[in-house]
Amino acid sequence: MSENNVGEQGKNVASCCRNAIRSIVKDVILGIILPFVYFCAAKRSLACNKVVFLESKQEKMPDSFETLYCALEECGDYNLLYISLGQHRVPRFTYFVHCVHALREIATAEYVFLNDASDVISCVNLRDQTKVVQLWHACGAFKKWGMSTADLKFGGTREQILRHPFYKNLSLVTVSSPEVVWAYAEAMGLEKQRDIIKPLGVSRTDVFFSEAFILRARAHVQDLFPQTKNKKVILYAPTFRGRVSKASGPDRLDIDGLRKTLSKDYVLLIKHHPFVRDHPAVPKDCDGFAFDVSGAIEIEDLLCVADVCITDYSSIVFEYSLFERPMLFFAYDKGDYDDWRGFYYNYEEFVPGPVFENNEDLIEYLMHLDERYDGEKVTKFRQRFMSSCDGHATDRIVREVFGTDKNGFS
């Protein structure tokens, strides 16, 4: 046997050992330690009107919580607590400490709001008096997640997912329309509890129906990037590639080609997914035309000001459809992405705009956008996937969770 083969076998053995150790540690933490922490903390009395907003990854409160949080804060009758676990952002031991702290707080909470998968909530025997609401962080149903990715490259095996589930202990799941209930039931393994998945709308979309919010968003973008004042805005907002912990951003868009043909009328704003840490560079020749705004402007502001949106497999297609403006899909790696993660609907039939696999066709379409844009297709898409997002989703969620005759809500 050659030295290379011996070395490769050694690496494989070491990798298997590391994976086995991680699996054992995960079993101990999720199967023993965290449930015990919760069990002990739940011996304390329930704190009336205590509300915990639990975020897995981001440090800052995400927009999927903010609108609802502000509504409860304005009411003044709730003890609100925001907790971020820092997953993939802080050292693993720190993350574990955050999980322990979170469960101690949740053990006495009357209400818990989530916006993502949570094996931390799912691993405990939740007390009956606590209501857990999954707001989710995206609208509609586009690329697969959860149980829908079992045995795909993106997901774990079905056995692994069921061993440490992410969607147990839920009392309510809010979605953007009746059309997508089936997909959430499949992804979250809630086929036998489908009645808890309700098309009440998505709270964070309420801001898109506020003229004051839209005006503030436009002013904010123009203050940071004055080049947008007298030109139309192209928003390029792709999703990430790879796994969450090592997410990368696509780098195939011909930014210089867009500049050469469209810079007279347009400015390009690039917003990479929050999971992407190292962003593809913007060519130096494109100064004044293209700007990476990922860390400078929130996506909701960008959706308000964008005259046209270029994306690929991102769920922002649902939010942006509320504005009924042109969408283009730069899906040069669609085949690979489908194999990697998969979609809930046939991609070409599903998306409300033209699909491009090369820059030349994309740029040529943009040059003739006015005569080629099919507004009816976007309108039908909005009606199908966003029918419950009408500016009043937060009101409906509050009534569903807290009751129509409680604490001034009606």
Q: In a 10 Å sphere around its CB, with 0-12 CB exposed, 13-18 middle and 19+ buried, how is residue 153 labelled? A: exposed
Instruction: Say what the pLDDT of residue 409 is.
Output: 46
pLDDT, tens only, 282-332: 999 999 999 999 989 999 999 999 999 999 999 999 999 999 999 999 999
Instruction: Say what the pLDDT of residue 338 is.
Output: 83
Instruction: Say what the pLDDT of residue 410 is.
Output: 46
Q: Are 27 and 161 in contact (CB under 8 A)?
A: no
Instruction: Say what the pLDDT of residue 4 is.
Output: 60
Instruction: Say what the pLDDT of residue 244 is.
Output: 80
Instruction: Say what the pLDDT of residue 323 is.
Output: 98
What pTM did the predictor assign? 0.90
The reply to whether 18-202+391-402 and 211-385 are identical in fold is yes
Instruction: Say what the pLDDT of residue 3 is.
Output: 57
Residues sharing a CB contact under 8 Å with residue 147, sequence separation 6 or more, in sequence order: 158, 161, 186, 187, 188, 189
User: Which CATH number does the domain 211-385 belong to among 3.10.580.10, 3.10.50.40, 3.20.10.10, 3.40.50.12580?
Assistant: 3.40.50.12580
Instruction: Say what the pLDDT of residue 5 is.
Output: 63
* Digitized pLDDT (tens) for each residue of the chain, 410 residues in all: 555 665 666 667 777 788 788 889 999 999 999 999 999 999 999 999 999 999 999 899 999 999 999 999 999 899 999 999 999 899 999 999 999 999 999 999 999 999 999 999 999 999 999 999 999 999 999 999 999 988 776 777 788 888 999 999 999 999 999 999 999 999 999 999 999 999 999 999 999 999 999 999 999 999 999 999 999 999 999 999 988 878 899 999 999 999 999 999 999 999 999 889 889 999 999 999 999 999 899 999 999 999 999 999 999 999 999 999 999 999 999 988 887 888 999 999 999 999 999 999 999 999 999 999 999 999 999 999 999 999 999 999 999 999 954 444 44
Instruction: Say what the pLDDT of residue 10 is.
Output: 61
Q: In a 10 Å sphere around its CB, with 0-12 CB exposed, 13-18 middle and 19+ buried, how is residue 28 labelled? A: exposed
Domain extents for the chain?
18-202+391-402, 211-385
Instruction: Say what the pLDDT of residue 18 is.
Output: 81
* Superfamily name with CATH number, domain 18-202+391-402: CDP-glycerol glycerophosphotransferase, N-terminal domain (3.40.50.11820)
